[in-house]
Amino acid sequence: MSGTTAGGGSESVPEDVVGGVTERRVRSGEVELCVVEWGDPEQPTVLLVHGYPDSKEVWTDVARRLADRFHVVAYDVRGCGRSSAPSPLRGGFTLEKLTDDFLAVADAVSPDRPVHLVGHDWGSVQAWEFVTVERTEGRIASFTSMSGPCLDHFGHWIKRRMTRPTPRRVAQLLGQSAKSWYVAALHTPALPEAVWRGPLGRRWPRILERVEKLPAGAAGGYPTASLPDDAAHGAWLYRDNVRERLLRPRRDAIAHVPVQLIVPTGDAFLSERLYDDLDRWVPRLTRRTIPARHWLPRTRPDQISAWVAAFADSVEGGGRAVPDKPAGPYADRFGGRLVLVTGAASGIGRATAFAFAEAGARVVAVDRDAEGAARTAELARLIGAPRAWAETADVSDEQAMEKLAAKVAAEYGVVDMLVNNAGIGMAGSFMDTTADDWRKVLDVNLWGVIHGCRVFGRQMAERGQGGHIVNTASLAAYQPSKALPAYSTSKAAVLMLSECLRAELAGQGIGVSAICPGIVNTNITATTRFTGVPEEEQKRRQSRTSQLYARRNYPPEKVAAAVLRAVARNQAVVPVTPEARGARFLGRISPKALRALGRIDMPM
């Protein structure tokens, strides 16, 4: 395939296929661009543009996740990786020439259909040029922007704050100026080249590993050995464009395609406030935030690929395939994030999976009941989850949980929110509860939580991008009951485990919440074991307790709402029902009265 552009033409030379990845060379004016492709060329094309000082390898993890449904393309920007550099360098990196390169690649890989454009850092900066100039109209279907503003929009943002200053605007300007210190350094003659080809180039992988929690030299060959030269050449991106556009920004920089803006709240280089006025320039804007740092393609490939896929699907379907933005009350907080819920086949677990799905989260529904978990995942997709999967596992089985965690990380990504909800009921006096009964309830209610926290919590901590763990405890965790010694003990242990883990993980940005429901209308009563009684009496008690809970009729959906609220607010202990809140309050003002209540036969 080959195509031509207004910028000097393009030429695609023979392809090289290695391990399912196609590589080709595309000519754009005086440079030759290295282009790689994944997936089926008959599918819609997603075109990924990397930033500074990266190469196309920064996209490897995202590309692999998208390749099963899209034709995915990435290329080394001129002067980077295996693409050639212009000569001379000065004047060779203007946004106009970068636009020529984009059109050359787009014509080569998708001559008959517009592409879904995705940019990060300087890849996003130049992509803003692509979606706001007339000559690219009809070649772009959508644009997803990450950590890279339009220089023209940025210039107008600065002018408004300088010409009409207010204390708030001045603070915003000073804050962004502090974050942009490196821009001035990159304008310094010869110094950036010397630093990058010297100590910084050698130390950059370690710096990324420490600051962004990136695995240096990880899969996909990122960062590449060409990094020092790439960074030295890339300094001209700033020199050829920044000063000119910030001083004389275009007034017609209106996006002619739908735009999805993804803003990491922990970006060290760009303030969230930079995008406050973006509605003026983007008629069709979807904005998402994510608690992460700058290098999203490496630290959040699972979530980024999910958002890109959902946005592309929406545009391909005329805006009807999936909503541009989930409609739940916590959509901005949880949209696109990955949540795993145990005990998800019914009750509180299923309601929690649905609540996260409504907020646009991706859901992994886990349960011993394979059919029930599959049904939860199916309904979660219908409710609003961009993706939902069902997994079968026994939470009390350590090896099974280890395998589950490895599979989830490999296929879906590192979990952002973990809800350890699986549990069983057990009632009966201490003397009637056998050692085997104790093992059963502790294996599921306590060890199941321990296994979940250990295997998934470790993944969160190693990723270094925060997260949240929710453990379902109970009113019984702090309300003594002579009828529930085993159950109460297991839930009290879950509560204390949650408090201890919260203290340990706080410094790593991982929150831990213990949810304490009371009498909630779920099917746990129908499966509760009543110790020390014959089978016929056990069934009678199960039926009686189920009727009592049904008359109380406190729905699991209210518990699910409390779970999402606890994560959003990072709450430590959350009594949910009125009786749970009342018992916790009574325990503080009159522990003796609370202990007296424990002598009464109370429902679980």
Q: Alpha carbon 338 to chain centroid distance? A: 6
Q: What is the pLDDT of residues 559-589, one digit of tens each?
A: 999 999 999 999 999 999 899 999 899 989 9
Please report which confidence band the pLDDT of residue 324 belongs to, taking 50, 70 and 90 as the band edges. Answer: very low
Q: What is the pLDDT of residues 18-70, one digit of tens each?
A: 557 899 999 999 999 999 999 999 999 999 999 999 999 999 999 999 999 99
Q: Would the pLDDT of 325 be above 60?
A: no
> Tokens standing for 351?
């309601």
User: What percentage of the chain has pLDDT greater than the value 70?
Assistant: 93
Q: What is the pLDDT of residues 453-463, one digit of tens each?
A: 999 999 999 88
CA distances from residue 545 to 105, 425, 521 in whole angstroms, order as listed:
67, 11, 10
Please report which confidence band the pLDDT of residue 220 belongs to, taking 50, 70 and 90 as the band edges. Answer: low
Q: What is the pLDDT of residues 585-602, one digit of tens each?
A: 998 999 899 888 888 865
In this prediction, residue 327 carries a pLDDT of 57
Fold match, 10-316 / 333-597: yes
Q: Which CATH class, in words, describes the domain spanning 333-597? A: alpha beta
Q: Would the pLDDT of 246 be above 70?
A: yes
Q: Which CATH class, in words, describes the domain spanning 10-316? A: alpha beta
Please report which confidence band the pLDDT of residue 13 belongs to, taking 50, 70 and 90 as the band edges. Answer: low
In this prediction, residue 20 carries a pLDDT of 75
For the chain, the structural domain boundaries read 10-316, 333-597
Supply the angle between the helices 167-179 and 151-163 in degrees, to the nearest 10: 140
Q: What is the pLDDT of residues 297-317, one digit of tens each?
A: 998 898 899 889 989 998 988
Backbone torsions φ then ψ of 303, nearest 5 degrees:
-70, -40
Q: Average pLDDT in the 405-419 region?
A: 94
Q: What is the pLDDT of residues 223-239, one digit of tens each?
A: 899 999 999 999 999 99
Q: Would the pLDDT of 15 be above 90?
A: no
73 neighbors 35 (Cβ within 8 angstroms):
yes
d(CA 244, CA 249): 8
User: What percentage of the chain has pLDDT greater than the value 90?
Assistant: 72
Q: Average pLDDT in the 202-215 region?
A: 84
Q: Would the pLDDT of 2 be above 50?
A: no
Closest C-alpha to 72, from 26, 37, 20, 22:
37
In this prediction, residue 604 carries a pLDDT of 42
Please report which confidence band the pLDDT of residue 396 belongs to, taking 50, 70 and 90 as the band edges. Answer: very high
d(CA 530, CA 282): 62
Q: Would the pLDDT of 8 be above 70?
A: no
Q: Would the pLDDT of 100 be above 60?
A: yes
Catalytic residue among 412, 487, 549, 554: 487
In this prediction, residue 10 carries a pLDDT of 53
CA distances from residue 67 to 72, 87, 109, 144, 262 in whole angstroms, order as listed:
6, 35, 15, 17, 21
In this prediction, residue 11 carries a pLDDT of 57
Known catalytic membership, residue 487: yes
Mean pLDDT of the chain: 90
Q: What is the pLDDT of residues 120-149, one digit of tens each?
A: 999 999 999 999 999 999 999 999 999 999
529 neighbors 434 (Cβ within 8 angstroms):
no
In this prediction, residue 1 carries a pLDDT of 36
Q: Average pLDDT in the 510-539 region?
A: 83
Q: Average pLDDT in the 251-256 region?
A: 96
Q: What is the pLDDT of residues 340-378, one digit of tens each?
A: 999 999 999 999 999 999 998 999 999 999 999 999 999
CA distances from residue 364 to 329, 413, 466 in whole angstroms, order as listed:
20, 11, 19
Q: What is the pLDDT of residues 502-522, one digit of tens each?
A: 999 999 989 999 999 988 877
What is this structure's pTM?
0.76
d(CA 94, CA 241): 6
In this prediction, residue 12 carries a pLDDT of 59
Q: Would the pLDDT of 446 be above 50?
A: yes
